Amino acid sequence: MAITLTTLVAGHRPDRLPPDEAGDRLFSEIDRLLTLLRGVASEEGAALRVLTGAADGTDEETARIAERLGLPLYLLAPGLPQPLTVSQKRAVRMVWLGAVDDALHSHEAFAIRDETALTFSDLLLVVWDGQSPQGLSGGTVRIAFQAALMMKPVVWLHTDGTVRLLDRTRLAASYQHKLRCPHPEPSWLRDCFTAPMDEQSLRNQLAETIQLIIDPSRAASTDDAVRLADYRDRTKPSNNAIRAGHFDKAMMALVRTDFAELSKQFRSKIPQAYWGSAKVGDDHPTASLPLIEARFERSDVEASVAAGRHRDLTWLLYGASALAVFAAVAGAIGLWFGSHGVFWPVTELVLISGIVGSFMLAKKHRWHEKWIGHRFVAEQLRYAQMCLPLMGVPRPFMEPAWQVDNGVLHLASAELWFIQRTLAIEGLPFSTNGTEYIANSKEVKAKTTDYVSQVVRDQQTYHHDTHHKLHVVHERLHKLSMVLFGSTALAVLAHFAIHANWLLICTAFFPALAAAVHGLATKLEITRIAGQSAVTERALTEIIGAIKEAGIQPGWEGWLRLRQITLEASRIMSDENGQWQKIVQHQGAELPA
């Protein structure tokens, strides 16, 4: 897919815009700015897309300008379908939230529209008079504040015709807390913008801004830059048969005495993404979103393969460390055919060399890092796919991907930048039949309710199975450790009566094996992940009924409830993914103690 930049244009309605010739000059300035943005984007190898609303005033004029400039136009409006101008009718995608007239007198529909529009944009062009909101607690002023808090680039076109850019280096974490206060002063935001800019200064600053939107590597740490390159790799998921993760699954099945599962691990398999119920089908409320699907599938496969290799390595490292102790003891007591030879010393050397070599291999290929990063990307795209029919997105898509350190703008997270850019490039969801999409229509609502219920139930089943399997493994590994330590204690007591060399196997190897079992369980976080899955399963079980109940409630209020509960389900799953990351991020490959 070609590089696309989405510019959200938002601004006042006619009552806050200058009249007559002054208004015409202001609209000419929008024309100039979009022309400038298109030129700068083209120089960076990107195409410009315009996203706006369907209201009169700034929105309506933006559609006319986009038509004159030949720019693709997306429209997102809070209400029900209404008559459109000729310029608006050429919109490539048209989405109506479906709020009825009474709901439009509250702030909810507009707040949802503004929040959604921002998540689908890379840059905001706002026409603002610099003053406080009037009437609704939102609109142009709210969207400008939200964009700043999301650390998105903002071009401010004042109604007097002057142009400024948001200086994101002024948005340190402490200042963002100030902007989040209820009823923030407009001057707090105005202070974050540059002085009015001339044409050349504006072009230079926009070029730098767009370069960072397209490729933030130069403002990223070395680790983030490496991960960025990995995520942006356009190769398709591997279709070569591999055995990554087979050893881990085989050992887990053996511990559980699940011989049917164990037998499956003797065959290699082609890695495939697991969509579950999240896959878009013919009965889905929206058409397929190819970029989201492609990036999900690649990240899901990459995460599964990297996780399999990391887990296999963990079993091998701790198993080999215990066997190295066994080899050392066997050599010392002259066990079997190694009484006077070099078999056991060589075996110990091979095992230790294998441990060190495997550790270096894991560090080189970054399996643990790839597992965590790609799993986060895949799961967030899965949750977004679930929420998009209701024009909602999980919280990570609204968190700032940029931060300010010592007055310098830095990339805060390669993963956040990647998923947010994916959404902006993909663009608004659209109808399966190519017509305008009405999120609150009866047909869409019914399909969405069934779809969301299936996705949540699929995740509930996954966490139920994960908890059960890991709980069994934890219990049996714990019992094995107890048996090993008990046997060690008996062997120590036996030394007082029997002076046999073979007892050293029990007193030296068994504690080493028990330590390896404990280290393995700790490194794989078996206990904590099992408990976390149990908590998540219960939360999702409780929310499934609420989803179905909200789905049958009529009207705009019923749609709002369904949207809110769906976002809550995504929050539960997203929080679980975040907690899982915190648990395993410090459990990278290490040499066994």
Query: 306-337, pLDDT tens digit by residue?
Result: 999 999 999 998 899 989 888 888 887 877 76
> In terms of residues, how long is the chain?
593
- pLDDT single digits (tens) 145-175: 999 999 999 999 999 999 999 999 999 999 9
pLDDT of residue 590: 66
Question: Which contiguous run of DSSP H or E holds residue 520?
Answer: helix 510-523
- CA-based nearest residue to 559, from 470, 441, 411: 441
Q: Out of 47-51, 225-229, 273-277, 483-487, pick the least confident.
A: 273-277
Give me the percent of the chain exceeding a pLDDT of 90. 57
Beta carbons within 8 Å of 456's beta carbon, 6+ residues apart:
386, 540, 543, 544, 547, 569
**Sheet with strand 154-158: strands edge to edge:** 163-165, 154-158, 123-128, 4-11, 47-52, 73-79, 93-99, 437-438
Q: Residues 17, 127: contact at Cβ < 8 Å?
A: yes
Q: What is the CA radius of gyration of the chain?
A: 29
Residue 372 has pLDDT above 70, yes or no: yes
- For residues 193-199, average pLDDT: 94
- For residues 378-388, average pLDDT: 93
Q: Residues 155, 124: contact at Cβ < 8 Å?
A: yes
Mean pLDDT value across the chain: 89
pLDDT of residue 496: 75
Please return the burial class of 5, using the count of CB atoms within 10 Å of its CB with bins 0-12, 13-18 and 19+.
buried
Higher per-residue confidence, 350 vs 101: 350
Residue 240 has pLDDT above 80, yes or no: no
Question: What's the token pair of residue 153?
Answer: 């680039």
pLDDT band at 103 (very low <50, low <70, confident <90, very high): low
In a 3-state reduction of DSSP, which class is residue 122?
Answer: coil
Residue 105 has pLDDT above 70, yes or no: no
Cβ atoms within 10 Å of 525's Cβ, excluding its own: 17
Question: What's the token pair of residue 217?
Answer: 């590597």
Question: What's the token pair of residue 336?
Answer: 């079997």
User: CA–CA separation, 405 vs 171, rounded Å?
Assistant: 10
- pLDDT single digits (tens) 258-271: 999 889 888 888 88
Cβ atoms within 10 Å of 424's Cβ, excluding its own: 23
User: CA–CA separation, 4 vs 151, rounded Å?
Assistant: 19
- CA-based nearest residue to 46, from 161, 207, 167: 207
User: CA–CA separation, 161 vs 127, rounded Å?
Assistant: 9
User: Rounded to the nearest 5 degrees, what angle is found at the Cα of 100, between the Cα atoms of 99 and 104?
Assistant: 70
Q: How far apart are the first and last CA of the chain?
A: 48
pLDDT band at 475 (very low <50, low <70, confident <90, very high): very high
DSSP state of 337: G
Cβ atoms within 10 Å of 332's Cβ, excluding its own: 12
Residue 582: how many CA atoms within 13 Å on its side-chain side?
8
Q: Residues 318, 524: contact at Cβ < 8 Å?
A: no
Residue 427 has pLDDT above 90, yes or no: yes
Q: Residues 192, 225: contact at Cβ < 8 Å?
A: no
User: CA–CA separation, 140 vs 246, rounded Å?
Assistant: 55
In a 3-state reduction of DSSP, which class is residue 96?
Answer: strand
DSSP state of 269: B
pLDDT band at 394 (very low <50, low <70, confident <90, very high): very high
pLDDT of residue 528: 85
- pLDDT single digits (tens) 35-94: 999 999 999 999 999 999 998 999 999 999 999 999 999 999 999 999 999 999 999 999
Q: Out of 354-368, 482-496, 559-573, pick the least confident.
A: 482-496
pTM of the model: 0.91
| DSSP string for residues in 170-236 | G--HHHHHHHTSSS--HHHHHTTBPSP--HHHHHHHHHHHHHHHH-GGGGS-HHHHHHHHHHT--PP
DSSP state of 588: -
| DSSP string for residues in 424-485 | HHH-S---TTSS-EETTSHHHHHHHHHHHHHHHHHHHHHHHHHHHHHHHHHHHHHHHHHHHH
